[in-house]
Structure 1
C-alpha cells in the first residue's frame, strides 16, 4: 500500500510504500491528492519513499504513476525517489530526460537530504 507521509516540508507531498503496492493504491491514495494540487494551480514537489518496509511493487502501479506524470508533466516541479533498490536510480535518470521538471534518486539514509532538495529554489 501507499501511505501519505506527515513529516514533509511545507509545500511538498510524500508517499511511502509499505508492503505490496498495486495500481489501486496509486488511484486511491496518490492520484486524488495530486489532482487536487494541480486543480488548485500548485506545482507538485513530491517524494516517494520505497524503504525496507516496501514489498512487491506491481508493474501496473509504476505504469499508473508514469502515465499520470506524462499527462500532467508541466505540473511537476521536483520528484525525489528514496530507495536502496539498485535499479531505481538509473531508471529515474532515464525517465527524467523524458519529462520536464527535476527528478532525483536518493538512498534511504539520505531521506532528510531528499526532503531538503524538494524545497530548494522555492520562491
Structure 2
C-alpha cells in the first residue's frame, strides 16, 4: 500500500511504499492523486520513497507504474525517488537520462534532503 506523506506543500505528491505494492494501489490510490495534481497544477512533483517498510511490487504494479509514467511523460515537473534497494536504484540510474523532468535519486537516510529538493525552485 501507499502511505501518504503529509508534511509537504500541496503541490507535491509524496508517498512511501509499505508492504506489497499492487496494481490496485496504483489504480485506486496513486493514479487518482496524480490526476488530481495535474488538474490543479498542470505538472506534478512527486516524492516516491521505497524504504524499510517496503516488501515487494506485484508484476502488475510494475506494469502499471511503467505504463502510467509513460502516459504522463511530460507531466512530471520534478521526481525524487528515495530508496536503498540496489536493483531498483540501478534500474532507475540506467534510465534516468530519458526523463524529461528534473529527477534525483536519494538514499533513505537522505529523505529530508529529498523533501527539500522536491520543494525547491518555485512552488
> How does the TM-score come out when normalised to structure 2?
0.90
Per-residue deviation at 1:97? Answer: 2.4
1:8 and 2:8 are equivalent in the alignment: yes
The answer to whether the 8 A contact 2:11-2:41 is kept is no
Partner of residue 74, structure 1: 74
Deviation digits for residues 37-94 of structure 1, max 9, x if unmatched?
1123431110111111111112221221221121111110111111110122221123
Q: Which runs of 5+ in 1 are unaligned?
A: none
Q: Per the alignment, in what secondary structure is the counterpart of residue 121 of structure 1?
A: coil
Name the CA distance, whole Å, in 1 between partners of 2:75 and 2:106: 22
Q: What's the C-alpha RMSD, in Å, of the aligned pairs?
A: 1.6
Within 5 Å, give how 1:40-119 maps onto structure 2.
40-119=40-119
- Aligned mates of 2:97, 2:116 — CA distance in 1: 22
Could you list the structure 1 runs, at least 4 aligned residues long, displaced by more than 3 angstroms after superposition.
Answer: none
Post-superposition shift, 1:122? 1.6
Contact kept in structure 2, 1:82 and 1:106, CA below 8 Å? yes
Structure 2 stretches lacking a partner, 5+ long? none
Answer whether contact 1:3 1:18 (CA < 8 A) is retained: yes
1:89-108 deviation per Cα after TM superposition (whole angstroms, max 9, x unaligned):
22112332223102221111
Work out whether residues 14 and 48 of structure 2, in 8 Å CA contact, stay in contact via their aligned partners in 1: yes
Return closer, same or farther for 1:114/1:95 CA change in 2, 3 Å cut-off. Answer: same
Matched, 1:29 2:29: yes
